[in-house]
Structure 1
Amino acid sequence: MSRALLIVDVQNDFTEGGALAVAGGDAVASAVSEFLSAHAPEYDVIMASRDWHQADSDNGGHFAEAPDFIGTWPVHCVADTAGAEYDPLLATDAVTHHVRKGQGVPAYSMFEGGTEDGATAAAVLGEHGVLAADVVGIATDHCVRASALDAIAHGVHVRVLTDLVAGVDQASSDAALAELAHAGAELVRSDEAFESPAS
């Protein structure tokens, strides 16, 4: 069974010092890199997404001068700026597919974006026969949630690696994980992801 690792939005604007910094973002970037160092060969596809918003528009109402931090947000992850780049603590050498999303429109799920050659995340997973995916990244209660739900909707068995995600708010992150579990996702720690069965 082919397996994918989906790395959601580990970008400078979502980690410490960024425009929409999430507490623990740098720690997630570093921990995902350590996990990749140990487990990249376990995956047939390693896909990383980035918000890649347009500088000269509000991106379909996504940007707002007085954001409500629910459906509207301050300017962040503008294409070709430092804020849109991967956090430098995230090692991307093992990434097989890079997805950009939110180009002119709100987009939370990596399934709403595309690779440089225009392929959707769903198409990439289908092409490689991926039936299972582990999801990590930022933010638990927004883009991780949306990406994991879309993966489930595309028939993929999802595990959320709970120590490799960080959320905007603890309560909404807990609610998002509960929602994902109810939708069929497994919630596991990264150190349990590839444990050998007990003999």
Structure 2
Amino acid sequence: MRLKLTDKDALVIVDVQKDFCPGGALPVPDGDAVVQPLNTYIELFVRAGLPVFATRDWHPENHVSFKKNGGMWPVHCLQNSKGAEFHDELSLPPDAFIINKGDRPELEAYSGFQGTLLDSLLRERGVRRIFVGGLATDYCVKHTVLGGLNLGYQVFLLLDAVRAVNVKPDDGRRAVELMLRTGAVCVDREDVNV
């Protein structure tokens, strides 16, 4: 597939934070491998004058997702902590839109659209197609892709710029299959041109 970027496109980078990379509180296996491919996409979108969005988990101490509060995950991505920072080598442009999610204690938010301004900001800019990569394929990437599809966006999954947690073996593969069945299109860098 060959895709030419248009003024209706945006890049959405999901949760490429230190806590989700090797050495973090909730590391995705090989999670930092998404950084270089994402930097290539960032360069492409910036060159085309297109918007770049980056979501991040931004949890309060008493967040519902933490095991100590009855959730399923260790404490991760606490607001203003080192672990909540984006990976040091992720080259976000200065004008990237930073979208905080999961910042209310009672709201689990896997999707970048849940409880955020992402949809409004995209619509204000006339965006119709979103290109999504980041962490993790089987959680926040999947839910952001499904959220985008439900809101009427055409969604392209950047297959070379995602990695899965795989709590159960094959969770990542099953997540990709679900996204495809729901209407997402898988692409990689070879497919996308200015």
Q: TM-score, normalised by structure 1?
A: 0.86
What is the rounded CA distance, in whole Å, between the counterparts of 2:89 and 2:16 in structure 1? 9
Relative distance call for 1:143 and 1:182 in structure 2 (3 A) is same
What is the rounded CA distance, in whole Å, between the counterparts of 1:33 and 1:13 in structure 2? 19
Report the alpha carbon displacement of residue 39 of structure 1 after superposing the two structures with TM. 3.8
Relative distance call for 1:139 and 1:41 in structure 2 (3 A) is same
Query: Is contact 2:19-2:25 (8 Å) kept?
Result: yes
Measured against aligned partners, the alpha-carbon deviations of 1:109-164 in whole angstroms (never above 9, x if no partner) come to 110243xxxxx111011111111010000000000000011111111100001010
Structure with higher RCO (Cα < 8 A, 6+ apart):
2
Aligned residue for 1:48, secondary structure, equals strand
Structure 2 runs not aligned, ≥5 long = 1-6
Aligned residue for 2:180, secondary structure, equals helix
Query: Is contact 1:136-1:165 (8 Å) kept?
Result: yes
Identity %: 34
Aligned residue for 1:89, secondary structure, equals coil
Equivalent residue runs for 1:48-197 within 5 Å: 48-55=54-61, 57=62, 59=63, 61-65=64-68, 72-93=72-93, 95-103=95-103, 104=105, 105-114=107-116, 120-169=117-166, 171-194=170-193
Q: In the alignment, residue 82 of structure 1 is paired with which amino acid? A: K
What is the rounded CA distance, in whole Å, between the counterparts of 1:156 and 1:165 in structure 2? 19
Query: Is contact 1:52-1:77 (8 Å) kept?
Result: yes
Residue-pair matches, total? 184
Let me know the Cα RMSD of the aligned residues. 1.8
Report the alpha carbon displacement of residue 96 of structure 1 after superposing the two structures with TM. 2.5
Q: In the alignment, residue 67 of structure 2 is paired with which amino acid? A: A
The corresponding residue for 1:117 is: none
Structure 1 runs not aligned, ≥5 long = 115-119
Runs of 4+ in 1 over 6 A off after TM superposition: none
Equivalent residue runs for 1:14-25 within 5 Å: 14-25=20-31
